[in-house]
Structure formats: C-alpha cells, structure tokens
Amino acid sequence: MTMTQKRRIPRLLQFALVVFGVYFGFILIFDVLLGQLIPRSLLTMYMVFVVSGTLMAFTFTEEGAHELVAPIKALVEDPSRKRLRNAVFVIVPLLAGYYTYTSMSPGYEAPVELRTIHPAPPSKFKAYGKSYNLATLENPLRKYQKEDPAKYRELVKAGGDVYIKNCQYCHGDKLDGKGPYAAGLNPTPINFQDVGTIAQLQESFLFWRIATGGPGLPAEAAPWISSMPVWENFLTEEETWEVILFMYDYTGRQPRSWK
C-alpha cells in the first residue's frame, strides 16, 4: 500500500459486505419478492460457492491476500488490541458451539419436498377410453369463437356452470386458487388469473391435466399429494372442453397455440 493511495473501505470489510450482500440478496429475491421460501440446504450450498468464489477473487494477487488477512493478523499480534482480541476469542468459540448444538439437535420442522409444478407433458395420454396425442390435440369448440359467436357464448356459459359446480371449491369463484377449501390442501390449488399459469399453456395441456387429474401426473410432480380429481370420472369430454373455454374467457387470457 502506498502513501498516495486514497482511504477506502478495508478489504476485509469489503469481503464481508460482498458475502452478506449476496446472502441477503438471495433472501430478498426468493423469500420476499417471489414469495418462494428458498430451502436452507440449497441456500447453504449456494453460499459455499459464493464464499469460495469471493475468496478466490480477493486473494488473486499476493498483495490482495495480504491486505485481506492483515487486520486479522494485527488483531492477534498487536498487543494494543489485546482487549478486543480476548473478546473475539470468547465470542467465536461460543458461536461455533451454539451452531454445533442447534445443528445436531433433532429438528421438528416438516421435511422440505421439492416438486415440479409444471411437469413436462407426455406426448400421448389415455382418457375417456381413447388415446390423445398432445402435440396435435386442439379444443374442438374453439372454432366457434370466430364462426358462431352466439354459440360460443352459450358454450362459455355451459363451461361456467361446470366450473361453479365442480371447480370453485378449490380454485375459487374468482379463479384465483383461493376457493373455500383451498387452505386445507397442499399443494394449494393453481391460480388461473396468474400470468404464469393457463396463459402459458395450450388448451391440450389443460385437457390432459383436467381429464387425468392428480393421479395422472408424472412422478416428479408428486401425484400422490395432488388433490386434483380425475375428471374423466365426472365430466364428459365436451364439458371438459367447455370449462376450458370458460377459464380463458373469464380470465381474459389467450391459450397458446402451435401456430
């Protein structure tokens, strides 16, 4: 360090700022902004990379490394800082002891289960005693939107009746996933108003999800906990397509298409 250099934030403090900044950044983005709690184990893994990466960057030159550890060395070696040193020597082992105790004590928190919310659909599936090809399947009623608007309105109304009799208990009157029984379910019902749900999907995907329900999910989506009924047992094929028309109409969203 030369005398001409301006005073700046000590390198050790810089290091701490970077590490804690990234840590709280993760928490801010996931837990607060996205409302999606980041699992502790995942966060620990990320932070190991962050700390080692930052350490590498900070110790890239010998001068830098020296500057980083200098305050620590000074703390140990400088007799004028004896009091601070003694305090650090008590606090650090206490903290380490506390961490060891809490991490070794048995936890009573429910295990975190990571499940795929939007699983990749199969290319084919069976429902209503038929086999459907998801790549080519289209809503046979969609054409009336242009060809016969009066008939289309009737179909949407019929779909709404299907929805209110069957779906609102969980997905809600407002299609927002907050029906009267939603709080009793885990995973919670999908919010169709959300731009990340039906607006991103083709009608054929919805048909697959409705007709085969929770038990029709692939293993990565944890079919054993989904409360979605197998609707081919309760609704006709026509009713299923009608309710799909209704869901897009009510939310004002457009289905995705291959074209």
Partner 1 sequence: MNRLALLAFCTALFIAGTATAKPGDAAKGKEIYDKRCTWCHGAEGDGTGAAKELLNPPPRDFTSGNYKIKSSSFEDMVPNDDDIFRMIRDGMPGTAMPGWSDVLKEQDMWNLVAYVKTFAGYDTPPAAQVDFGTRVASSDESIAKGRKLYEEGDRCVECHGKSGKGSASKRLKGDAGERTWPRNLTKPWTFVGSSDPKDIFARLSTGIAGTEMPSFADPRSKKKLSIEERWHVANYVASLARTGRKVDAENTVIKADKLEGDLPNTPDDVRWEKTTPTTFYLVPQLIAEERYFKPSNDTLTVRALYNDKMIAMLLEWDDRTRSIPGDEAAEKLADAPIAEDGVAVQLPVAIPKGMEKPYFGMGDAKHAVNIWHWKSGAKDTTESINLANSRGFREIEKRDAARLKANASYRDGTWKVLITRALTTSSPDKDIQFAEGKFIPVAFAAWDGSNNGEKGSKHTMTTWYWLLLKPATGTRPLVAALMVMGLLAGGLLWWARSAKPAV
Nearest distance, CB of residue 243 and partner 1, angstroms: 12
Work out which of 113, 118, 133, 200 binds partner 1, going by CB under 8 A: 113
Residue ranges of alpha helices (H) inside the chain are 11-27, 40-58, 62-77, 82-104, 144-147, 149-166, 168-171, 203-212, 237-251
Nearest distance, CB of residue 149 and partner 1, angstroms: 16
Work out which of 20, 24, 49, 98 binds partner 1, going by CB under 8 A: 98
Place of tokens 């999606």: 36
Residue 82's Cβ-side half-sphere holds a number of Cα atoms within 13 Å equal to 2
Q: Pick the closer one to partner 1 by CB: 73 or 118.
A: 73
The DSSP result for 230-244, as a single string, is: -GGGTS-HHHHHHHH
Strands 130-133 and 124-127: antiparallel
The DSSP result for 12-38, as a single string, is: HHHHHHHHHHHHHHHHIIIIIIS--PP
Q: Pick the closer one to partner 1 by CB: 101 or 258.
A: 101
Separation between Cα atoms, residue 62 and residue 129, nearest integer Å: 72
**How long, in residues, is the chain?**
259
Draw the binding track, 134-163, toward partner 1 (x: CB under 8 A; -: no contact).
--------------------------xx-x
Work out which of 227, 237, 238, 256 binds partner 1, going by CB under 8 A: 227
Applying CB under 8 A, the site for partner 1 has a residue count of 60
Which residues have C-beta within 8 Å of that of residue 50, sequence separation ≥ 6? Answer: 19, 22, 23
Please identify, among the stretches 2-10, 46-54, 68-76, 134-142, the one whose residues bind partner 1 according to the rule CB under 8 A: 68-76
Please identify, among the stretches 8-16, 134-142, 181-189, 201-209, the one whose residues bind partner 1 according to the rule CB under 8 A: 181-189
Q: Does 42 bind partner 1 (CB under 8 A)?
A: no
Q: Does 119 bind partner 1 (CB under 8 A)?
A: no
Separation between Cα atoms, residue 189 and residue 199, nearest integer Å: 16
Binding footprint of partner 1 on the chain (CB under 8 A): 73-74, 76-79, 85, 89, 92-94, 96-98, 100-102, 104-106, 108-111, 113-115, 160-161, 163-165, 168-170, 172-174, 176, 178-181, 183-186, 213-215, 219, 222-225, 227, 229-230, 233-234
